[in-house]
Structure 1
């Protein structure tokens, strides 16, 4: 099996390089998905396509029915315009190494195809879209058009039932590299955890006016946004330390001309926390701050909250299995087990998948030394460590799970209760919402500046029919 991966190493590395040089962001990975489909067809498989818009999967069948293990590769890139391999037109770039994940998934499949007749269960090779939470406004437009409900890939695939026939999943991910670092790193420690998140798309609406002639006739949406962000910052000491709350945002629009009072301003916000209850609390406080900004300036604010990621809880026993498989694949000297008992502030939709099934992960080396994921210099520079090594590790881990009657796979699936798909979807929906506060200001009246100012103040509390208003 490992020899088969070695024989195909050039093909696997070339796929990683091709995807690196042709990046696409989430739910738009059309060319990347086509490359995956072509590779799966070349293996003699019959892939399913257009799952959650761009997802692709195919099944390798074992010698008898049993648990199904999915090997995951993530299709999407980030938006990092100053990355050396950024798309000229889009600014998209594989600054998180997802190109290597996809190639490693294919590599693992090429190796496993040689031994499926000895395994007591099936393998699904699954290329999934949109792990990164970016371009939130565009994704909400896709939701409004009925193309998706959840704005991140694995949650949407769970909702659609695309994981209903899968019992366990295996993922890989690139990590920070050093020239003499290991090829594979496994995160151990039963207490390891990571933040969940919700994402907010926020639009402040005011009224345009000549900023020099009569600014009092306008309602400044950008200043409402500014007040709101100050109010968010003022909330920071109210968050419990145990909730590990992080709030960060980007201003995506803030007016069109300095000679006109800005009538619209936009924010995208990510609120992270260690628990679902912590997410609810922090999200509510951020909403309160956004309303305060609108109220202070007499503007209105539209807040759309979309669930991002569930908090991550590590699977007991998974790290030991992954480490053993990695040592067998690349040698003990090339594997490091990083014991973690604390909490990480990062988020991933692997945590969502872990709510419905066990997930085992390996981290790979091979990235540019000195750069962290999501930075302008991060990409997979060494395909042996960043692509071939995780392909071998995931293939051997799959064999370990599915050999001897799939005893290890069955033990992991029975280790702790999981959410059903319906429970997961209901909980996720409970974190979402939309509101307008308090209402859009009415048009200014004719007459002098004083009359206009009085009318603006009065109109800021008049609700619009059909809108949701919040006291």
Structure 2
């Protein structure tokens, strides 16, 4: 039996032999970005690589997801390594799709690459014969919470229930027998690796204000201006910001997606989209109630109607401290720079999994000094973001599944899930709501 350090050295060699494949797959995905639940080309690219390795593939999970599983010599914990398939619309990004504006401005293409790199590091008899347990590599659709109107239409048709891919896979039972999950996310304006920290959760809102059209110059008094209702609502939200507790990390950031039809007509229909983000489920619920009051008040002030659709978003992110400590030690045993992160205002459906099982969601640098979701966000160091990131996850998995998976079993036994699957799904569905308030007195 190899020692644990010998195993890690061997796994590193196996990865180095095939790292060009993982890097090239990342670059191929970068070149043809797709948004959530539409990642068909991306799915095919990954499928072809996995098929070339003679692996058994489970395909078409939540439309575009896929997975493969490898097994140690003995039974033990089941670990998931996750990569996300989708990009998001970012006009002006140098690698954006010319028709859809989709771009990998959040680095999901390197997640698929470092997921594959982890597979290359572990998928040999020499490694697996020393491990107890299974490792699934899951390419997950739709992490970016965008195109809400389109997704809600698909949801109403029964194509899926939840707008986030991991959420849908939880519902479908893909994570039922998985004990631990991990993934590594890209980060801009950052060097080395970041571990720990927490992140906001969110609910999404789609709002329609209905007024009454009239000639904007000749008869504005006959109309009900839906744009005024929307503007007042946003001002109401701004007036509430001082009521948000600092440690709740509330973020409310609406956009107008339809501001009217023509300039010489009083706007009859105006639509908004917004997220309500917060550091805990209770904070999100409280802020969401305030936002609903603001929306009703804006409609009431001008005698309009407002339809408020609230959709379940993502749960707040946190990490299992014991699992994180193992990952941290692997970072410290390499030449890679690493640092512990604080709270982040963004959101991910990895937070949903964190409520169900032990997870880690570290970050890796290697991108430009630009914020994610912008045209300037471009991954430059693929050796770091793909190869080294995959190596760190592989080393962590070896720690977990070595010696009869004693460490992995200990982490699982010490972890208390915050929610059961049924409690999680119930909470998700309770966030879903449609309210219509009509204040038209004419």
Relative to the length of structure 2, the TM-score reads 0.94
From 172, 179, 190, give the equivalent of 1:167: 179
Unaligned runs of 5+ in 1: 440-456, 460-471
From 302, 309, 325, give the equivalent of 1:304: 309
Question: Do the aligned partners of 1:323 and 1:335 also contact (CA within 8 Å) in 2?
Answer: no
> Which residue of 2 is the match for residue 60 of structure 1?
70
Measured after TM superposition, the shift of residue 431 of structure 1 is 2.0
> Which residue of 2 is the match for residue 11 of structure 1?
21
Measured after TM superposition, the shift of residue 195 of structure 1 is 1.4
> Which residue of 2 is the match for residue 448 of structure 1?
none
> Which residue of 2 is the match for residue 451 of structure 1?
none
1:132 has 2:144 as partner: yes
Runs of 4+ in 1 over 4 A off after TM superposition: none
From 314, 319, 322, give the equivalent of 2:327: 322
Q: Give, in whole Å, the separation in 2 of the partners of 1:291 and 1:414.
A: 47
Measured after TM superposition, the shift of residue 327 of structure 1 is 4.5
> Which residue of 2 is the match for residue 43 of structure 1?
53
Question: Do the aligned partners of 2:357 and 2:415 also contact (CA within 8 Å) in 1?
Answer: no
> Which residue of 2 is the match for residue 71 of structure 1?
81
Question: Do the aligned partners of 1:367 and 1:382 also contact (CA within 8 Å) in 2?
Answer: yes
Measured after TM superposition, the shift of residue 194 of structure 1 is 2.0
In structure 2, the residue corresponding to 1:118 is in which secondary structure? coil
What's the Cα RMSD here?
1.5
1:187 has 2:192 as partner: no
Question: Do the aligned partners of 2:365 and 2:385 also contact (CA within 8 Å) in 1?
Answer: yes
1:339 has 2:340 as partner: yes
Question: Do the aligned partners of 1:186 and 1:323 also contact (CA within 8 Å) in 2?
Answer: no
Q: Residues 73 and 61 (structure 1 numbering): CA distance in 2 closer, same or farther, change over 3 Å?
A: same
Measured after TM superposition, the shift of residue 362 of structure 1 is 3.0
Q: Residues 327 and 343 (structure 1 numbering): CA distance in 2 closer, same or farther, change over 3 Å?
A: closer
Question: Do the aligned partners of 2:33 and 2:104 also contact (CA within 8 Å) in 1?
Answer: yes
> Which residue of 2 is the match for residue 463 of structure 1?
none
> Which residue of 2 is the match for residue 415 of structure 1?
414
What does 1:12-411 correspond to in 2, within 5 Å? 12-114=22-124, 115-177=127-189, 181-182=191-192, 185-188=193-196, 192-328=197-333, 331=334, 333-336=335-338, 338-340=339-341, 342-368=342-368, 370-411=369-410
Relative to the length of structure 1, the TM-score reads 0.88
Unaligned runs of 5+ in 2: 1-10
In structure 1, the residue corresponding to 2:74 is in which secondary structure? coil
Question: Do the aligned partners of 1:43 and 1:110 also contact (CA within 8 Å) in 2?
Answer: no
Q: Residues 186 and 408 (structure 1 numbering): CA distance in 2 closer, same or farther, change over 3 Å?
A: farther
Q: Give, in whole Å, the separation in 2 of the partners of 1:130 and 1:56.
A: 13
Q: Give, in whole Å, the separation in 2 of the partners of 1:360 and 1:230.
A: 38
Measured after TM superposition, the shift of residue 45 of structure 1 is 1.4
Measured after TM superposition, the shift of residue 101 of structure 1 is 0.3
For each residue in 1:191-249, what CA deviation from the matched residue of structure 2 results, as whole angstroms up to 9, or x when unmatched? x4221111101111112222122122222111111111111111111222332211111
Q: Give, in whole Å, the separation in 2 of the partners of 1:284 and 1:295.
A: 16
Q: Give, in whole Å, the separation in 2 of the partners of 1:75 and 1:221.
A: 38
Q: Give, in whole Å, the separation in 2 of the partners of 1:9 and 1:311.
A: 33
Measured after TM superposition, the shift of residue 177 of structure 1 is 4.3
Question: Do the aligned partners of 2:350 and 2:361 also contact (CA within 8 Å) in 1?
Answer: no
Count the aligned residue pairs: 429
